[in-house]
Structure formats: C-alpha cells, structure tokens
Amino acid sequence: MDATTQHEGDAIGMSDKLAEIMQSKAEHQGCGTSGGSGKASCGSSAGQGDLPTEIWEKVKNHPCYSEEAHHHYARMHVAVAPACNIQCNYCNRKYDCANESRPGVVSEKLTPEQAAKKVLAVASTIPQMTVLGIAGPGDPLANPEKTFKTFELINKTAPDIKLCLSTNGLALPDHVETIAGFNVDHVTITINMVDPEVGAKIYPWVFWKHKRYTGYEAAKILTDRQLQGLEMLTERGILCKINSVMIPGINDNHLVEVNRAVKSRGAFLHNIMPLISSPEHGTVFGLNGQRGPTAQELKALQDRCEGEMNMMRHCRQCRADAVGLLGEDRSAEFTTDKIMAMEVNYDLESRQAYQALVEEERVAKVAAKQQELESLAGEQSDIKLLVAVATKGSGLVNEHFGHAKEFQVWELSTAGAKFVGHRRVDLYCQGGYGEEDSLETIIRAINDCHAVFVAKIGGCPKADLIKAGIEPVDQFAHEFIEKSAITWFKDYLAKVKSGEIEHTVRGDAEIRQGALISAA
Amino acid sequence: MALKIVASQCTSCSACEPECPNVAIFEKNGTFVIDPAKCTECIGHYDAPQCAAVCPVDDTCIIDNSYPRYQPPA
C-alpha cells in the first residue's frame, strides 16, 4: 500500500496511469449545457433535457440526484442507523466531532419517533426541504427495523417528502421488496470495486450470515451482493446512484471498470468522491498515510467515466445527520432537545406555494442561459478553462469572496458552461489559520481556475489573486452564473484573439482534507 | 462463562444487540453490556461469538476472565 505520498500544497506526484487519464480527458465530450449527446445530460442537467418524464419527475427536486436542483432544494439525513455490517478502511466508528463534516459522522443518534418529529420540524422551517435520507452513521440496512419504522412514520405524517437511503449493499438483496413497498425511489449504493482483489485492500471484513469474513472472500461476498441488489432495484424502476470513493493507487483506475459494471446494470448516476483521509480521523487509511486525489486527478477520472453515464459533481460528502441545502449544515438548529420542544405545524400548502416560486426562479435561470448560449454559437476555439464562482445558491453569483466557504467550479468552452465540482475553502479546527493563511488556502483550492466570480471582493485579496494568476471578476454580482460565465468567456476569447492576453494552462488544485468548522 | 464489552471502547452502535442468540445484550448508561448469566459465548449457536464478530472496534467484546468458561451441556 502506498504509504508515502501525502500531498502537500502544489507538490503533487502523479502516476503514469493517471497521466494517461488526463490525456484521455482531452478527447472527452462533455455533457455541458448543450445536451443532446444521446444521453441524459448529466447530473448537472439544467432542465428535463432528454430525460424521460417519469425520471425527471423523480429527480427534479432531489438535490443529490440533480445538480441543478441542489441550488434550490434541501435534504436532511436522520441518524437512526448506528450499526454497520462491514468495516471500511476509510471509516472509523469511534470518531465523533460536532465540527466534523464527512460521511459516517454524526453527533446524536435518534429513535425513529424522534426522527419523524425532526423531519416535520425541519420541513416546517425549511419549505424547500424535499428529501429525507437515511445514511447511517452505520448502514441503514444493518438496522432494518429502525430504518423502515422511520420511513413508515414519515410516510404517514409527511407524505410529500421523498425517501431515500444510502447503503453499502451487503444486506440489500434481502430488503429490496420492503424498500419498494415504502415507495423509496432513490437508493444509493457505495461500490468501490467489482474485483475482490481490489476490495480486499479496502474492506478488512464483512459480517454476513452470522460469520465474519475477511480478505478476498469478504470482498467477493460484498461485490456479489452489491451488484445483485443493484439489479433488483433497477428492475423495479427504483433510481440508483452509485457512490465510489477514489483511493489513489488502490481503486483509481479500477473505478472505470466499476462505472461500466454499474452502468450495464441500470444505475442512474455515478458519484466519484475523493478519499477523505487524515491521521486525526484514526482510520486505517488516515494512519497509514494513504493520500486522497488532487482536484485534477478527480476531475480527470470523472470525465473519463462520463461517456454514457450521468456523473454527480456536486456531492459535498455530508454527514449522516446533515440538514439544509447541500453545502450548508443547519443541523445545530435541530438538536433532539430543540425539536422535542418545538410546536410543529406541518403546512403542506405553504410548502407547495414556496416550491412553486422556486420553480419560477429555475425557469428564469434556464432562459437567461439559453439566450447567452445562442450568442456563443458562432465562436470557434479549442480553449477550455475553469472558473470558480462564489455563490449562496439559486444559481447566482451572490457571495462575497471573503464569506465563501466553498466555490463552484465551472468548465467553459465554446460548447457552453459545464458545472464540474465544488472546492471547500472553509477553515479547519486543527489548523488555527489566520486571515492570510486562509487566502493561501483559497488560492490552493482554486489554483486550476483562470478567474473567480464574486459578488464583492476587497482590495487586498484582489491583488493577491491577480498575482497568483486568477482574475477576480465582480461585474456580474447577483446575476445568473452560467450566463455570466459565458459572457466573460466570450470576452476572454476575444482578448486572446486580438492578442491582448495570452491563454495559458493553469496548474493543479488541492482538495481540502480534515474537519470542517460548523457553519452554524 | 461469558463475554464482556469494554465500556471505554464501545461506540454504542448497537450492532451486537440483535445478533446475540441469547438476548443477553442491552443498553446501559450509553453503552452496551452483556448479561453474563445469559451469555453462552455463542457455543451451540454459531462458530464464533456474534458480538465480537460484528463489533467495529477490535478487542471490545472479549472473554470475561472473572467467570469460568462456558461449558455446554453434555
């Protein structure tokens, strides 16, 4: 196992195979905003595109299944499922810090009754909350009674809320009928391998049929059960998202094979996430120095897998008790003590009225982009570049540079603007970074971008960004992101053409590791 | 004749509780404990103690040496 290459700053080593991927991404045909490439125009679809209506209805207000929806709709997870039936080298069940944001971590466990109350309380406070997921902190299907009791209660009290769950898949085939029975129409399976040799490096053991299996045998059981469960779900028309953790040197290239395997079994969306690995997490990978991928490595792999399948690029790897829009966490407002004391008035009508407004906003955004895109039609250029955007949501350039906890990254080309991911730039509890350090952190996180779009920016950071080769752009404050990005890109191309500026290729960027200081 | 759960190591994940064939495991003060009077080390039920096999933290469900080892009925 690779125990040496912990990545620091910009000094990033890259294997030959990854270099090949980077090469191949040049040929890649992006789904972009143009659509019409013969497939559902990726997880970042701005509209129905070529999705069948019944699928569009299922995903259009699901923040995890539609990139576009995640600007407008919120989700919540309830932590009713603490037990797990497998062990993963990137997970440590002993770790629980309230300031930590990553999968598997949770501050409070809930009973199904508490969870149902919490869902009502959140749905009443946050009308755009449309999705309830059970994602742990263990595995929902290793706690079937608690998981299904929670679904049953929510079906009764808040039937408009979509139910979903996220599982490792080991117990999935045993529960497919029950899942279908509760109208759970979104299931996420974490599949990190389809080759037990690879799996043996990720999973030390699985507990199945009253026995602990280890090594190759464990991984073989797991992959067989995962793929069987996936087939059973898609046969029943349940949408499946596949999560995969990209672990450089272990499954990075193998994930292309995983992508093929899940695609052929009917998975709807593939979400390749970077390994989160840091010694203080106490995970096997954290302790043995296994590094996570760089931003460029991750994007190259996502691009490579994108051919015929939707890729999710907007995942924030949230906690098993997260509440709110992706990228924000309002769970601190809804602790058990607080929700139990809350008077909840579940008003379906006002929720629907609010959501109708959200729909109007979305339509306006799509129209604005369409107009701008048409004006790009005549442009001819091979230039493809990334820009970062500071946004609070709703698809607008509406966040101050200094307040941004994350940036959206968009790839611009003559095909249009394509959303390709997020970069976290928040401060971390173990570091104690000051103001200056935090600016360096931001520059490292968006170092592969040519420009950063903000609603507002101070003079000092502006100068430092320019020095780092990143153009701060504030003239599109409070305008639609895609429209603004395309306008800027047209101008950029014109300047390159006239010789005013020279197009250069940017370097790699860093994916932040470690604990998130809670936003609340 | 029993296993015990090292309280300081228990994450309270509850995975062991439903696996116990003797219903000997219950929650107490935020962690799980084994009733030594009911525990049979899973002898006669399974090849290995289920609590130890499913526990996510190594060396947390261990043989309690303050009791003699379980002797299955002849």
Query: Measured between CA atoms, how close is B48 to chain A, in angstroms?
Result: 7
Average pLDDT over residues A114-143: 87
Contacts of A23 (CB under 8 A, 6+ apart): none
- Amino acid code (one letter) for A469: G
pLDDT averaged over every residue in chain A: 80
Torsion of CA A392, A394, A398, A399, to 10 degrees: 10
- With left for phi above 0 and alpha for psi between -120 and 50, is residue B30 left, alpha or beta? left
A176's enclosing H/E stretch is helix A172-181
Mutate: best of B8, B9, B13, partner A, most A CBs <10 A: B13
Measured distance CA(A397)–CA(A287) in Å, rounded: 39
Closest residue, chain B, to A85 (C-alpha): B54
Confidence of residue A224 (pLDDT cuts 50, 70, 90): very high
- Give yes or no for a cis peptide into A279 (omega within 30° of 0): no
Query: Measured between CA atoms, how close is B66 to chain A, in angstroms?
Result: 26
pTM, full prediction: 0.78
The whole-number pLDDT of residue A49 equals: 62
CB atoms within 10 A of CB A129: 23
The DSSP letter of residue A44 is T
Nearest to B53 among A82, A94, A211 (CB): A211
CB–CB contact B15 A109 (8 Å): no
How distant, in Å, are the alpha carbons of A80, A94, A231, B25 from that of B28? 18, 18, 41, 10
| Chain A with chain B: Cβ pairs closer than 8 A | 43
Contacts of A516 (CB under 8 A, 6+ apart): A99, A100, A101, A102, A424, A426, A428
Which chain B residues are within 8 Å of A142, Cβ to Cβ?
Answer: 15
CA atoms within 13 A on the CB side of A88: 24
How distant, in Å, are the alpha carbons of A110, A185, A265, B43, B62 from that of A157? 17, 18, 34, 45, 43
Which chain B residues are within 8 Å of A85, Cβ to Cβ?
Answer: 15, 54
Nearest to A207 among B11, B14, B54 (CB): B54
Which chain B residues are within 8 Å of A83, Cβ to Cβ?
Answer: 13-15, 18, 54
Measured distance CA(A254)–CA(A89) in Å, rounded: 17
The 10s digit of each residue's pLDDT in A432-464 is: 444 456 788 888 889 999 999 999 998 888 999
Confidence of residue A6 (pLDDT cuts 50, 70, 90): very low
Closest residue, chain A, to B50 (C-alpha): A210
Over pLDDT 70: what percentage of chain A?
A: 80
Are the C-beta atoms of residues B6 and B30 closer than 8 Å to each other?
no
Measured distance CA(A335)–CA(A341) in Å, rounded: 10
Average pLDDT over residues B8-21: 92
**Residue A77, pLDDT above cutoff 60:** yes
The whole-number pLDDT of residue A12 equals: 35
Are the C-beta atoms of residues A314 and A424 closer than 8 Å to each other?
no
CB–CB contact B13 A84 (8 Å): yes
CA angle A223–A225–A228, rounded 5-degree value = 105
The 10s digit of each residue's pLDDT in A260-287 is: 999 999 998 899 999 988 887 788 998 9
What DSSP line would sit under A146-172, residue for residue?
A: HHHHHHHHHHHH-TTSEEEEEE-STTH
Which chain A residues are within 8 Å of B13, Cβ to Cβ?
Answer: 82-84, 93, 137-138
The whole-number pLDDT of residue A364 equals: 79
Query: Measured between CA atoms, how close is B44 to chain A, in angstroms?
Result: 13
ipTM (interface predicted TM): 0.92
Measured distance CA(A318)–CA(A328) in Å, rounded: 9
Are the C-beta atoms of residues A335 and A117 closer than 8 Å to each other?
no
The first and second tokens of residue B54, run together, are 């499913």
Which chain A residues are within 8 Å of B14, Cβ to Cβ?
Answer: 82-83, 143
Closest residue, chain A, to B45 (C-alpha): A210
Query: Measured between CA atoms, how close is A84 to chain B, in angstroms?
Result: 6
Are the C-beta atoms of residues A464 and A439 closer than 8 Å to each other?
yes
The whole-number pLDDT of residue A381 equals: 83
The whole-number pLDDT of residue A410 equals: 93
Strand order in the sheet with A451-453: A416-424, A406-413, A385-389, A451-453, A471-473
Which chain B residues are within 8 Å of A207, Cβ to Cβ?
Answer: 15, 53-54
Closest residue, chain A, to B30 (C-alpha): A109
Mutate: best of A88, A94, A149, A284, partner B, most B CBs <10 A: A94
**Residue A99, pLDDT above cutoff 70:** no
CB–CB contact A85 B19 (8 Å): no
CB–CB contact A93 B13 (8 Å): yes
Candidates A277, A246, A275, A294; CA nearest to A509 is A294
Torsion of CA A330, A332, A336, A338, to 10 degrees: -90
Contacts of A93 (CB under 8 A, 6+ apart): A84, A104, A137, A138, B11, B13, B56, B57
Closest residue, chain A, to B20 (C-alpha): A210
The whole-number pLDDT of residue A516 equals: 42
Measured distance CA(A289)–CA(A250) in Å, rounded: 13
How many angstroms from the chain centroid is the CA of residue B71?
A: 16
- Residue A134's SS3 state is strand
Mutate: best of A108, A168, A206, A207, partner B, most B CBs <10 A: A207
Closest residue, chain B, to A206 (C-alpha): B54
Q: Highest mean pLDDT: which of A19-28, A145-154, A422-431?
A: A145-154
Average pLDDT over residues B14-33: 93
The residue among A321 and A269 whose pLDDT is bigger is: A269
CA angle A392–A396–A400, rounded 5-degree value = 50
CB–CB contact B19 A210 (8 Å): yes
Which chain B residues are within 8 Å of A93, Cβ to Cβ?
Answer: 11, 13, 56-57
Measured distance CA(A223)–CA(A391) in Å, rounded: 39
Measured distance CA(A67)–CA(A412) in Å, rounded: 17
The whole-number pLDDT of residue A2 equals: 36
Which chain A residues are within 8 Å of B11, Cβ to Cβ?
Answer: 82, 93-94
Which chain B residues are within 8 Å of A138, Cβ to Cβ?
Answer: 13, 15
Nearest to B15 among A83, A94, A109 (CB): A83
Measured distance CA(A482)–CA(A478) in Å, rounded: 12
Nearest to B15 among A94, A138, A211 (CB): A138
The 10s digit of each residue's pLDDT in A326-337 is: 666 777 777 777
Nearest to A93 among B19, B50, B56 (CB): B56
Query: Measured between CA atoms, how close is B11 to chain A, in angstroms?
Result: 6
CA atoms within 13 A on the CB side of A225: 25
Closest residue, chain B, to A84 (C-alpha): B15
Measured distance CA(A39)–CA(A263) in Å, rounded: 12
Confidence of residue A158 (pLDDT cuts 50, 70, 90): confident
Closest residue, chain A, to B9 (C-alpha): A94
